[in-house]
């Protein structure tokens, strides 16, 4: 797809569709309830993103403590950032997509699908699994010499 067309669609098409939908909803339920609903979804989304972000940060820490690479968890954090941005934008379509990205199984499935299609992740492999032999890789040791500067001064 042409990048200019994609840019035009993202930054002109989506806001116009959102505006049309907000006008339609406002004509059905009124302007004040529509504005209140938009603010409510932004606040609720912010709280949910914060909770899930803390949960993801804890999973990253646990994976690092085990010595694993928390790649999937870090990508989930980036998707949560995108979800938070979408929830802060006024509009019902972006809110629906943002709330959809807050569902952990949906978020993880979308990430794994993207990683498999891009060739980064092969079928059957996921973050946090041990090597096939069941043994952890040995730690990398770098040998060298050092001297302390403060020992020479005294």
Tens-place pLDDT, residues 92-138: 999 999 999 999 999 999 999 988 888 777 665 554 445 555 556 67
pTM beyond 0.85: the answer is no
- The HSE-up count of residue 20 (CA atoms within 13 Å, CB side) is 6
Nearest to 60 by CA among 75, 81, 49: 75
Q: Are 72 and 108 in contact (CB under 8 A)?
A: yes
Mean pLDDT for the stretch of residues 54-72:
90
pLDDT-derived band of residue 35, with 50, 70 and 90 as boundaries? Answer: very high
């Amino acid at each position: 797809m042409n990048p200019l067309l994609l840019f035009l669609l993202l930054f002109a098409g989506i806001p116009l569709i959102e505006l049309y939908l907000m006008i339609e909803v406002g004509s059905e339920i009124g302007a004040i309830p529509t504005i209140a609903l938009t603010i409510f979804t932004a606040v609720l989304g912010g709280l949910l993103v914060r909770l899930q972000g803390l949960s993801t940060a804890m999973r990253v820490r646990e994976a690092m403590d085990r010595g694993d690479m928390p790649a999937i968890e870090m990508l989930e954090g980036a998707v949560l950032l995108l979800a938070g941005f979408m929830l802060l934008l006024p509009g019902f379509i972006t809110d629906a997509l943002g709330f959809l990205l807050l569902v952990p199984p949906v978020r993880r499935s979308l990430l794994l699908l993207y990683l498999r299609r891009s060739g980064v992740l092969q079928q059957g492999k996921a973050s946090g699994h041990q090597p096939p032999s069941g043994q952890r890789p040995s730690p990398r040791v770098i040998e060298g010499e050092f001297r302390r500067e403060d020992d020479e001064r005294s």
